[in-house]
Chain A
Amino acid sequence: MENYQRILANNFLNGVSETILTMTGFDLDLYECEFLEKEYDISGIIFMSGFKNAAFNISISQREALILVSYMTGIEQDKLSDQEITDGIMEILNVSAGRAKSKIEDLEKKFKISTPMLIIGKELLFKIKNNIDFFEYRLGGNNVNIRIGIYYI
């Protein structure tokens, strides 16, 4: 069971990394998460249910989201609407979870994924319940840092 948690987490991490590389050209590096208490402006979550139930989270600042979505769409940063920015982050989350799902299904484990959801605000602080299994990382580079969390329910 623990092995599948690690596989699923790795698949999601790779999914985020590959999605960003393909859609923006940014080849980000993966780090163990060293700033759990950092505050974010956009935090997205998508749930996966099946053999294991998990919540995938990505969190990012508004400024960094603007950079990513600008590269995704080819639209200049000052011409992007708030809706386009949030839509772009939601798409990254959705596509990344889709990739994680398909890779784990290659191991003949069936999963369903929920619709992605975002919470948008100022200096959001991400907190989790004690005593749950989780993995947390940071993808960074090119002036972009994304906090990634995988939480098992």
Chain B
Amino acid sequence: MRLLSVDDSMVVRKIIKAAVAVLDFDLEEAENSIEAFEILDKFNGVIDLVLLDWNMPGLSGYELLNALKKDIKYREIPVMMVTAESSKESIVNAIEAGAVNYMVKPFTMEELIKKIMECIGKGEA
């Protein structure tokens, strides 16, 4: 399994990396949408899950989610939002835009692992 974390916070990417390592999956890291598209292109869209922050410089996570879902090459890739944005409106908007799951920061390692497993169909939905 190969996951992509898109988050402008280096510390959050480190935390996600540690969780993904527990699962013995590979993690690609992007600081913004430009790097995210570079990685998606590099792996020809073969990414099993994108973990996406909301508030980032350049395209926001929500804008990137919409861009991915409109792109025939990437729209089948599951996306989970991982964000401090916890309003009901944000959650509804993200799910309507095609996110498969939504993780509100802060989270424990166990919570993150459980959500990742749900997203890739290996845990309880």
Contacts and interface: CB of A to CB of B under 8 A. Distances in A.
Interface stretch (B40-48, B66-74, B81-89, B94-102): B81-89
DSSP majority for the B interface?
loop
Contacts of B25: none
B29 to A, nearest CB: 13
Interface residues of B, number: 17
A102 B86 contact: yes
Interface in A25-41: none
A72 B108 CA distance: 10
A73 B87 contact: no
A10 B83 CA distance: 21
A115 interface: yes
Interface stretch (A51-59, A81-89, A117-125): A81-89
Interface stretch (A92-100, A126-134, A140-148): A92-100
A1 interface: no
Given A101-B87, A115-B55, A72 B107 contact: no
B27 to A, nearest CB: 14
B14 A90 contact: no
B86 A98 contact: yes
Interface residues on A, range: 20 to 34
Contacts of B84: 94-95, 97-99
A73 B86 contact: no
B97 to A, nearest CB: 19
A45 to B, nearest CB: 16
Given A99-B86, A105-B87, A22 B108 contact: yes
A87 B15 contact: no
7 contacts: A73-B11, A84-B14, A97-B84, A98-B86, A98-B105, A99-B84, A102-B85
Interface of B: 9-12, 14-15, 18, 55, 83-87, 105-108
Interface of A: 18-19, 22-23, 69, 72-75, 83-84, 87-88, 90-91, 94-95, 97-99, 101-102, 105, 115
